[in-house]
Structure 1
């Protein structure tokens, strides 16, 4: 029983971190909705602004994690939808973030869109659209006529995942690609804003994959936007498994993360965890596999964990 106890404790400690709610690189302050698409279109910010899926298909995300992004097929009836939108206007401050991977740069109207109506049928549109360029826009429509508008645009490549963040701050618009500011502009007029909130769409007439959509009711800082590019939903793929070993045998613990990760193994001493260094019984202290050689009676009850980092993110 003593020999099994060592490994059981390790497995429990390492696996508990997989169930974290919001990653550290997703700012909580002002977060209205966050859609990581972990097997469904639910809002995991805690605000319950869930989406409904219409004919979109779950696919692997940029880390290769199954059923963690949506493929939109480019038709009129393939999108994610919420019946009411977010209450933004001319003088608002807000941020929208999205990851996309397009199959082609042919015309595809909207990746993320929101719109307001008024009693006079005026509309205020804002959001992202894509064709040969990626566009962050704000515009008005007066009845059936297009009114004033402003856009920020940038080029993009197909077949790869790209992070885009749009910031709107009292008519000042900024567009970030992979954490870097690529365009900025200022509205030179006041747009007509309606009072009735209409649907919020993700992927209406859009061909490609979409993931990690988030909306804030404030301007994110450049550092926060850069951290979004270092996304780490849950980094852990594999955590240690229970194993039965005998004295003088070697123990191997594996904790694999998504993408290019760094690893640091620690052991518990008293109330704290301290770093393990290579030497003596230990090897692989900064890799995904920790080896403890020649197990001894004094190793019984040892508790270890692995800290996994990917860019600006960490998991345990």
Structure 2
């Protein structure tokens, strides 16, 4: 049953049915999704075709230069590549000690260059504040973390082109910092000050220390994970189930396509029915992102949609054969729509569009529970 599927959000490639069953059984055995971990999850960036936050907290990332690339499993458009020159992703997540006295940052990373300094996640304002990346001041060039004024914790040597799991755990109450690189642990005392009230993925917010390589599965927690939780965090999406567009909209009988300036993707944070829905891609001003399918009429179409956007400026729109039928804007809860479709082949498209103004809401739209009943005579 679909309601029994695991909630790991990473989109993976289709595999042969026998292997899929074996992997699914393995995931159930290790308990891939921990309620305790999810309760403390402040932001989660699986980079499934966009930089949206899938924790449900609305901290969507804004991409500046970084481009989608393959993840550690070889899946296209499931990680971001940073050129080491000027690429980064901005997210308004405040990780300062006065907001999160204890916290954890983790990611899967692949370095294409190891020349320091290169940041994976940082809010540093030149005060050795909370940051995770490649440095040379922890005893050698390698994976490191800032541990306070003038202090760098680490290091674990970097292997160019190899995917590794990195995490840093800050406990302001105990004045400790722990760095994890796969199964290796470094720990020392650390007392950190205040940085910026936002983070950069792939650079220091002062627009330096640009990362060269790929970053995926970024997570930020509002407490200090222990060693067993770090291990779970590292393994939780090593194996996972596919959340396809067809599953997300609950209709595998239709063929789904996505495109525009960013792709739609399946996710499990916001939905109307059965634990998932399709979400629009992360776009900038004067851009659009669409999902579409084709049906053969006559018949009746029904779907649920939802949007959180700048009111009267950014819209989720529905088209039949390139003719707009309806649109919603602002903060709109789930609404059901129904249309009679005439005889013949018809293209159905849902498109989220942004103007050149400011952002508003969560800046995206959702689609769920799409049904098409063929053979019904239009009214």
Check whether TM > 0.5.
yes
Q: Does 1:209 align with 2:214?
A: yes
The answer (yes or no) to whether the contact 2:97–2:192 under 8 Å persists in 1 is no
Post-superposition shift, 1:15?
10
Indicate the SS of the match to 1:223: helix
Deviations 1:25-80 (A, max 9, x none): 582121111111011111100111111001111111112222110000011x2110
Post-superposition shift, 1:106?
2.1
Match of 2:178 among 171, 174, 178: 174
Post-superposition shift, 1:193?
3.5
Are residues 149 and 85 of structure 1, via their aligned partners in 2, closer, same or farther at CA, if it must alter by over 3 Å?
A: same
Structure having greater relative contact order (Cα 8 Å, sep ≥ 6): 1
| Residue of structure 2 equivalent to 1:60 | 70
Alignment TM-score, normalising by the size of structure 1: 0.59
| Residue of structure 1 equivalent to 2:45 | 35
Post-superposition shift, 1:220?
1.0
1:1-316 correspondence to structure 2 within 5 Å: 13=1, 17=5, 21=9, 24=33, 27-75=37-85, 77-83=86-92, 85-89=94-98, 92-115=101-124, 123=127, 125-131=129-135, 132-140=141-149, 148-170=150-172, 171-178=175-182, 180-187=183-190, 190-193=191-194, 197-204=196-203, 205-232=210-237, 235-236=240-241
The answer (yes or no) to whether the contact 1:51–1:81 under 8 Å persists in 2 is yes
Deviations 1:186-244 (A, max 9, x none): 12xx55447xx4331000211000001111111112111111221327723599x99xx
Are residues 14 and 159 of structure 1, via their aligned partners in 2, closer, same or farther at CA, if it must alter by over 3 Å?
A: same
Aligned residues: 212
Are residues 156 and 128 of structure 1, via their aligned partners in 2, closer, same or farther at CA, if it must alter by over 3 Å?
A: same
Taking only aligned residues, the RMSD between alpha carbons, in angstroms, comes to 3.2
Deviations 1:250-273 (A, max 9, x none): xxxxxxxxxxxxxxxxxxxxxxxx
Deviations 1:118-152 (A, max 9, x none): xxxx8561111215311111334xxxxxxx43423
Q: What is the CA–CA distance in structure 1 between the aligned matches of 2:166 and 2:94, rounded to whole Å?
A: 20
Are residues 150 and 56 of structure 1, via their aligned partners in 2, closer, same or farther at CA, if it must alter by over 3 Å?
A: closer
Are residues 220 and 20 of structure 1, via their aligned partners in 2, closer, same or farther at CA, if it must alter by over 3 Å?
A: closer
Indicate the SS of the match to 2:53: coil
Are residues 81 and 181 of structure 1, via their aligned partners in 2, closer, same or farther at CA, if it must alter by over 3 Å?
A: same
Indicate the SS of the match to 2:124: strand
The answer (yes or no) to whether the contact 1:74–1:108 under 8 Å persists in 2 is no
Q: What is the CA–CA distance in structure 1 between the aligned matches of 2:215 and 2:71, rounded to whole Å?
A: 9
Are residues 65 and 91 of structure 1, via their aligned partners in 2, closer, same or farther at CA, if it must alter by over 3 Å?
A: closer
The answer (yes or no) to whether the contact 1:150–1:186 under 8 Å persists in 2 is no
Structure 2 stretches of 5 or more lacking a match? 11-31, 136-140, 204-209, 245-251, 254-379
Larger radius of gyration: 1
After TM superposition, the runs of 4+ consecutive aligned structure 1 residues lying more than 4 A away are 13-16, 18-23
The answer (yes or no) to whether the contact 1:112–1:201 under 8 Å persists in 2 is yes
Q: What is the CA–CA distance in structure 1 between the aligned matches of 2:38 and 2:3, rounded to whole Å?
A: 24
Alignment TM-score, normalising by the size of structure 2: 0.50
Are residues 225 and 35 of structure 1, via their aligned partners in 2, closer, same or farther at CA, if it must alter by over 3 Å?
A: same
